[in-house]
Amino acid sequence: MCYAIPGNVKSITGNLITVDYFGEKRKARNDFYNLQVGDYVYAQGGFVVQKIDEKDAEEILDTWKELFFELKKTDARLSRLHNDKPHLDKDFLKIINRATYGKSISHQEALRLLLSTDSDEKEVLFKSANFVRQKFLDNACCVHGIIEFSNICRCQCEYCGIQSSNINLKRFSLKPGEIINVVADAVIRFGFKGIVLQSGEDLSYSSEELLDLIKMIRKKFPVFLFLSVGEREEEFYRKAYEAGAKGVLFRFETSDENLYAKLHPDSSLQERVRYLKFFKDVGYLIATGGLIGLPGQKAESIIDDFLFAKELGCDMYSFGPFIPHIDTSLADDHAPDIEYVLKALSVLRLIDSSGKILVTTALETLHTQARRRALLSGANSIMLNLTPKEYAGLYDIYPRSSTVDSSVEEQVRNAQQLLKEIGRAPTDLGI
- Determine, following the binding rule CB under 6 A, whether residue 323 of this chain makes contact with ligand 5AD: yes
- Determine, following the binding rule CB under 6 A, whether residue 186 of this chain makes contact with ligand 5AD: no
- Determine, following the binding rule CB under 6 A, whether residue 263 of this chain makes contact with ligand 5AD: no
- Determine, following the binding rule CB under 6 A, whether residue 343 of this chain makes contact with ligand 5AD: no
Nearer to ligand 5AD, 145 or 426 (CB): 145
* Secondary structure E strands in 45-204: 47-52, 142-150, 194-199
Least distance (Å) from ligand 5AD to the CB of residue 85? 34
Residue 254 neighbours by CB under 8 Å, 6+ apart: 260, 263, 269, 290, 291, 294, 297, 301, 305
Nearer to ligand 5AD, 75 or 253 (CB): 253
Q: How many residues bind ligand 5AD (CB under 6 A)?
A: 12
Nearer to ligand 5AD, 26 or 325 (CB): 325
C-alpha distance across the termini of the chain, in Å: 26
Residue 19 neighbours by CB under 8 Å, 6+ apart: 7, 8, 9, 10, 25, 26, 27, 28, 41, 43, 48, 428, 430
Task: From 202-210, 232-240, 319-327, 388-396, give the range in contact with ligand 5AD by CB under 6 A.
Answer: 319-327
Nearer to ligand 5AD, 253 or 304 (CB): 253
Least distance (Å) from ligand 5AD to the CB of residue 207? 20
Between residue 137 and residue 166, which ones bind ligand 5AD under the rule CB under 6 A?
A: 159-160
Least distance (Å) from ligand 5AD to the CB of residue 323? 4
Nearer to ligand 5AD, 21 or 260 (CB): 260
**CA-based nearest residue to 314, from 250, 256, 224, 376:** 250
Instruction: For residue 302, give the 3-state DSSP assignment.
Output: helix
CB neighbours (10 Å) of residue 22?
A: 15
Nearer to ligand 5AD, 351 or 362 (CB): 362
- Determine, following the binding rule CB under 6 A, whether residue 291 of this chain makes contact with ligand 5AD: yes
Nearer to ligand 5AD, 191 or 295 (CB): 295
- List beta partners, residue 142: 381
Nearer to ligand 5AD, 127 or 264 (CB): 264
Distance, CA of 167 to CA of 179 (rounded, Å): 25
Give the contact letters, 217-256, x = binds to ligand 5AD (CB under 6 A), - = no: ----------------------------------x-x---
3-state SS record for 333-378 = CCCCCHHHHHHHHHHHHHHCCCCEEEECHHHHCCCCCHHHHHHCCC
Distance, CA of 21 to CA of 371 (rounded, Å): 26
- Determine, following the binding rule CB under 6 A, whether residue 322 of this chain makes contact with ligand 5AD: yes
Q: By the 8 A CB rule, do 26 and 43 touch?
A: yes
- Determine, following the binding rule CB under 6 A, whether residue 398 of this chain makes contact with ligand 5AD: yes
Task: From 128-136, 218-226, 321-329, 346-354, give the range in contact with ligand 5AD by CB under 6 A.
Answer: 321-329
- Determine, following the binding rule CB under 6 A, whether residue 362 of this chain makes contact with ligand 5AD: yes
Distance, CA of 359 to CA of 246 (rounded, Å): 21
- List beta partners, residue 423: none
Burial class, 271, CB count within 10 angstroms (exposed 0-12 / middle 13-18 / buried 19+): exposed
For ligand 5AD, the binding residues (CB under 6 A) are 159-160, 251, 253, 291, 320, 322-323, 325, 362, 397-398
